[in-house]
Amino acid sequence: MATGFSDTETFAQIPDSFFRRLLNEIDDRDELKVTLYALWRIGNMEGHVHYLRSQDFAACVPQPGPALEKALKRGSLLRASPPPPAPDAQAEPAPLYFLNSPRGRAAAEALVKGQWQPDPTGAMPALPERPNIFKLYEDNLGPLTPLIADALQDAEKTYSPEWVSEALGIAVKNNKRNWKYVEAILRRWKEEGHAKKQDRRNSQEDGRRYAEGEYADFIEH
């Protein structure tokens, strides 16, 4: 019997169109499995290009071929292959699978044009372990309240996990352990842009900017 979901795990983002259309249309269990697996696995990948190989789907369906064909026909997934290899190549490159999203379509088109090449070892990127936003808050700022939980849920929809983690780190470093301080940092990054390796000030300057600048009203001194 399943023990339920924990408060320390992350949750997958599923497109609204899956619930509005695909969930009612898909009547094959294996097709549903490979579709959900692709949404979850690709959604947790890092880097610029996100794809899967057919063997990767064996984690949810031992023989995924027929289910993948159905997902391709439905338009949930895309399949693309690199340009034909040189005449002396030992084997044809295996096709790759992408989500049928703007990012997936762009990656598939670029692959066909030879603008990038998949990892020749066939290795799939490791799934990053990311604490969810509630655990990040409790580990860095303190116990959750219902109001803070609502604010965190809103932030999770607006900002990337990397931004939230980095903003929390700045708050801890500057001993400003309250959510309004973190939120002010995130809002500023969203409005003015956030370049991780450009125009970076040291932590003392960051603290003065947020504690004494235009967001001073949000900070508890």
Whether residue 125 contacts residue 50, with contact meaning beta carbons closer than 8 Å, is answered with no
Which two structure tokens, joined as six digits, stand for 207? 């603290």
In whole angstroms, what is the distance from residue 25 CA to residue 10 CA? 27
Look over the chain and give the mean of its residue pLDDT values, rounded to a whole number.
81
pLDDT, one tens digit per residue, over 32-47 is 999 999 999 998 887 7
pLDDT at 177: 87
CA distance 98 to 36: 13
What average pLDDT does the segment 2-30 reach? 85
Q: How far apart are CA 142 and CA 197, in angstroms?
A: 29
pLDDT in tens, 55-67: 999 999 999 999 9
pLDDT 10s digits, 117-160: 887 776 665 555 556 788 888 888 888 787 888 888 888 888 88
Taking the CA atoms of residue 181, residue 184, residue 188 and residue 189 in that order, the dihedral angle to the nearest 10 degrees is 60
**pTM listed for this prediction:** 0.59
pLDDT at 198: 37
> Above pLDDT 90, what percent of the chain?
37
Contacts of residue 137, Cβ cutoff 8 Å, sequence gap at least 6: 144, 148, 152, 168, 179
